[in-house]
A and B are shown apart, each in its own frame.
Chain A
Amino acid sequence: MFGPLNCKAGTSKKNKTGAWRVELRPKYLHQNCIACKLCVTACPEGCIIPGEKNAFEFDAAYCKGCGLCAAICPKKDIAMVKEEEQKSK
C-alpha cells in the first residue's frame, strides 16, 4: 500500500532551474535604478533580491532567463545579455 504521499513545504528550492537558461541572462546595470521593485513583482520565479537603489540582484540558481524583469524596468536598467562561460564555474 502507498502511504500518504506528502511533501515538505517549499522543497522545490532544490530544483536549480537556472540551468534552463540557454541564451540570455539579466544584467543589472546599477545606474538608474529607483528601487521601484517592479522587477521583483514581475519575476515568475520570485528570485530577484531587492535592496537599496542600484543594489538589486537576481539569483542565477533559479532565473530561467525569461526577460520579464528587463521588459518591465521603467528605467531600462536591466539588460539581457548573452549567457557567458560564468555558468560552468
Chain B
Amino acid sequence: MSNHLYAPGHTACSGCGQAMAVRYVLDAAGKNTMVANNTGCLEVFSTKYPESAFEVPFVHSLFENCAAVASGVEAALKYLGKKDSINVIAEAGDGGTADIGLQALSGMLERGHDILYVCYDNEAYMNTGIQRSGLTPFKANTTTSPKGAKSFGNLRYKKPMPEIALAHGIPYMATATVGYPQDLQRKVKKALSIKGPKYIQVHVPCPLGWQHPSNQTFDVAKLAVETGLYPLVEFENGKLIGVRKIKALPVEEYLKVQGRFKHLLGNAEEIKLVQDVANASIAKYNLKIEADTAQPA
C-alpha cells in the first residue's frame, strides 16, 4: 500500500505534525539514508520495540547525543569509503536540539561532519508532558510555564537556534514548516546536495500540546509563518538566499486558534508584546510583501 519510507502503524497522536514532517524528510532524502534519532516523541512513536516504522536504517541514541551518534555513523561510513552514496540524517526534537543536545550538535557542526541535522520544533518537551524548552515561544502556556492569576505563560523568548547553528559557519541552514511540504522537501534535497554539516529546523504543530483540533495542523502551521512568528529563511554559506514573503497577518490570528495562547485573548497589552516579536522578525528579514509587488487579485 504505502511506498513511503516511513510506514503506517506508528503510534503518533491523531493529526501529529511531526509524523508528517518525518515522512516528507525521508521521502525527499530517498532510501540511501541512515537516520540517528534521540529520545523524544519521534523515537517513541516510530520504534516501539520490537517494531519500527522506519524503512531505512535507524539508530536510537540517548536524549543528549543524537548529533554525536550521527557523527560516529558518518565517520564509519567515511572509513568504509561509502559516505558519498549514503545520506546521514540526525533527527531530534526541540528539547533534544536547543537544550540537552546543543553541546553534541555544536561539536558536530564545528567538526564539519557531512550530516543533515533536522530539528522537529514542536516548541516543548511533548513526549514527557508539555514542559517548556528553549524553543517554547514567548507567552505560551506549558506545564512548566503555566498561565495563572499573575502569569501569562512562558517568560522567555524563543532561543534563536537557527542563528546559533548558522554562527558555526555551516554551508547550509534553513527553517521550514510542515505547513508547506514542498518547500520543506526542496530544502531537504538542497541540503543533501551540499557536503558538510547542514541544519534545518521544521515547525511541527502538536495538537495535544498546542491544544488545537487534529484537523487544523496545516492551518496552524501556515498561520505561524503568515503572521511572522515563524519566518522561513534559507542561508547558503552564511548568505541569506531566500525568505518566504508574507502578508503579515496580525498575530492574534495565530494565537486564537490554539489553547496554549487562550489566556492572551482579549488582553491587548499582552498581544502587543507577541506582535512585537513578529514585527522584529518581519523587519529583520524584510518578510512583508510590498504593496506594489503584491500578488495580482
Contacts and interface: CB of A to CB of B under 8 A. Distances in A.
Interface in A1-53: 5, 7-17, 20, 41-42, 44-47, 49
A47 B15 CA distance: 13
A7 B16 contact: no
A20 B214 CA distance: 13
A59 B2 CA distance: 10
B20 A42 contact: yes
Q: Which of A20, A49, A71 has the most CB of B within 10 A?
A: A71
Nearest to B17: A44
Interface stretch (B6-14, B94-102, B125-133, B169-177): B6-14
A44 B216 CA distance: 12
B113 to A, nearest CB: 24
Contacts of B11: 12, 15, 17
B120 interface: no
Contacts of B213: 67
Interface in B1-33: 1-2, 4, 6-12, 14-17, 19-20, 23
Contacts of A17: 8-11
Nearest to A80: B215
A70 B2 contact: no
A9 B52 contact: yes
A45 B55 CA distance: 14
A13 B11 CA distance: 10
B1 A47 contact: yes
Interface residues of B, number: 38
Contacts of B23: 44, 46
A64 B10 CA distance: 11
Contact of B14 (A10, A14, A47, A64): A64
B219 A7 contact: no
B203 to A, nearest CB: 15
A77 B19 CA distance: 24
A65 B50 contact: no
Given A7-B49, A42-B20, A46-B2, A71 B218 contact: yes
Contacts of A59: 1, 8
Interface in A47-89: 47, 49, 59, 62, 64-68, 70-72, 80
A66 B14 contact: yes
7 A-B pairs with least C-beta separation: A67-B215, A12-B9, A12-B53, A66-B15, A15-B9, A62-B8, A66-B214
